[in-house]
A and B are shown apart, each in its own frame.
Chain A
Amino acid sequence: MKHTISILVENKFGVLARISGLFSARGFNISSLAVGETEDPTVSRMTIVVEGDDKTLEQIKKQSNKLIDVIKVIDYKEGDFIDRELILVKVSISPKTKKEVMEAIEAVGAKIESTSDKSLCVEATGDRAKIKTLLELLRPFGILEVVRTGRIAMDTTGKGLKADGKPEVNE
């Protein structure tokens, strides 16, 4: 099963290596990873999508929490968060298919960022379903290159955590 984990860490060099090293040393496979500064510049947030059963996930959380530079580990529950990914796709076109491709891009609400005679560069942000649909629609025309950021996620229930690991709303 796929899990989306959010890890608040000290914004220091080497922290990413500690986290990724921990995952690789224990044989946990990362399917997506995105890192960025939070509202507090001394804190970074890593959004990690991992696959594994409950026991594996429990170990991932506990082992991550053991790292000195980790402030908090949050395991997002289904339905309690939004997630987004940015994707750039270069798709091949011909005078015959150009119109069809542009319609497909419009249909999923993606944007054309650059065009040439032979290809289109498309930008899209969205959740997994949207990105998947876009790729499925474009695949028949010939995808030349895909670049994606990895997913980021945010709690939507109001029970989320701030950069310092404290709850959003004090109860």
Chain B
Amino acid sequence: MKMTGAQILIECLKKEKVEVLFGYPGGQVLPIFDKLYDAPIKFILVRHEQAAAHAADGYARATGKTGVCIATSGPGATNLVTGIATAYMDSIPMVAITGQVKSFLIGNDAFQEADITGITRPITKHNYLVEDIKDLARIMKEAFHIASTGRPGPVLVDIPSDIQMQEAEFEYPEKVSIRGYNPTYAGHPGQIKRAAKAISDSKKPILYVGGGAIISDASKEVTDLAINNEIPVTMTLLGLGAFPITHELSLGMLGMHGTAYANHAIMDSDLIVAVGARFDDRVTGKLDAFAPHAKVIHIDIDPASVSKNVDVDIPIVGDAKTILRELNKHVKKPDTQEWVKTIAEWKKKYPLKYKEDDALRPQYILEQIFEATNGNAIICTEVGQNQMWAAQFYKFTKPRTMLSSGGLGTMGYGFPAAIGAQLGVPAAQVFDIAGDGSIQMNIQELATAVANKLPVKIAILNNCYLGMVRQWQELFYKHRYSYTCLNGTEPDFVKLAEAYGAVGMLITKKEDVRPAIDKALKINNTVIMDFRIEQEENVFPMVPAGEAINKMIGGGLA
């Protein structure tokens, strides 16, 4: 049957079982929006295209499915860019659809024209400009395939509006065949055996688990490897939830704002088993001082991540879950008794701590949110101090419950991601842990959340500062708070929430924290909790950029 390009696109989305589409209409996607009017796909109208991409991203991280967003040409498409780059850095499966000016106008500087395939080339896994209506179905099939396989990532499909109106036979390909794209899933058996032996022979092994473990749903395998062999586990920001922080073998997060005991353990270890982690500079600190005694096993689906920053002794390229399953069969339990004992002592000696007084401190708020939600919430974060406090003080126990912009560090990510997560997992209690700076980057999405009756809870850790930058200014720029103070220019967040039809709460005292959270949890609406926290509270421990990761400030270790 002949269909228009717009119809074909909708049919493709149906074939891919897309349930939710995040986007914003505009001139060059009108044919598609006309067809969406009758389509059995839930459409979420955001208030800014950046939020459409973040919401699709949050949906993908929370569910494991591919997130889909759509925008018009030119400014609509360029507004997606930050969200696409965020997804790219964190390997999130996403398909972004953009309208383009009519094909015969391309290159003429037509109204609302932008070379979006050119713009997004370095921040997509792949992208397409549809030149012929006959290619559209194949391209959509390929886009979803590429986005979700191998190391996942965003794929952009740019469709000129005349192609949306042209007609062609709809035929959805059964299979994808791209000769240059054949991701490896099974790890090399010889390397797996070598790795198993190295683990069995080690005295001070440590697991270093990243976002790749969550993407490949390898949480159980990571847990088996750790518990059966008594190997301590540390996680990256994106790896949080892969192994329960509450377990005695967990060292929490490592790196710049990691726990002192995690960083100390990494530096003292004789074997690092990296799973789906890429040795980011926020994790390694000064590279040539990183883990001087350790052999490194690196399990990663992306060969380009192996030996990119740290030289790897045993590389295993493939899917983390598949490889760990195989590895777990071969590992003989090493003798780690002494090692685990040493680490337990460190944990006792250098715990994550904060001043426990009557002041309203952000760490306390995170602990209370953890308790009030029994650790079952999906926590989205913005970027900055709020993000690091969430990583440190909410004890993540399950995968896909920590949604945060790790690679790009995108302020404004958390709230739209929370909207996406809430739509993907309606039964979940979704929080956005925000700063007063970050929340204002996409605050307009209150309209989206309220319109769709999403009971997202926003906890603003309000210190009237762009807190993390202020912290750096305090520590490294002699307290010269250059343009990081928002005091006197902040909106009344309670009134703002109410203006959008949400619920606002102001919390200024420690004793009011828990009652406010409990009350918010009972409200079936979007809630902003404006916590006025200690203004100059810092995130500790902290490794100054470029230092070795055991050279912490405020970590209790020299």
Contact = CB atoms under 8 A, between A and B. Distances in A.
Interface of A: 9-10, 14, 17-18, 21-22, 25, 55, 58-59, 62-63, 65-72, 164-165
Of all A-B residue pairs in the complex, the 5 with the closest CB atoms, nearest first, are: A62-B304, A68-B126, A71-B180, A70-B180, A68-B181
Interface of B: 117-118, 121-122, 125-126, 129, 146, 178-181, 302-304, 307-308
Nearest to A62: B304
A18 B304 contact: no
A68 B139 CA distance: 13
Nearest to B128: A14
B132 to A, nearest CB: 12
30 contacts: A9-B180, A10-B180, A14-B117, A14-B129, A17-B118, A17-B121, A25-B122, A55-B307, A59-B304, A59-B308, A62-B303, A62-B304, A63-B304, A65-B303, A65-B304, A66-B304, A67-B126, A68-B125, A68-B126, A68-B178, A68-B180, A68-B181, A69-B126, A69-B180, A70-B180, A71-B179, A71-B180, A72-B180, A164-B179, A165-B179
A5 to B, nearest CB: 15
Contacts of B126: 67-69
Given A62-B304, A63-B304, A65-B304, A21 B122 contact: yes
A17 B302 CA distance: 22
Contact of A21 (B121, B146, B303, B304): B121
A87 B117 CA distance: 35
A70 B304 CA distance: 14
A78 B307 CA distance: 24
A146 B192 CA distance: 54
B302 A66 contact: yes
A72 B180 CA distance: 7
Contacts of B302: 66
A72 B181 CA distance: 10
B118 to A, nearest CB: 7
A68 B126 CA distance: 7
Contacts of A62: 303-304
A72 B423 CA distance: 41
Nearest to A25: B122
Contacts of A63: 304
B180 A67 contact: yes
B129, B181, B302 interface centre (most CB from chain A within 10 Å): B181
B532 to A, nearest CB: 43
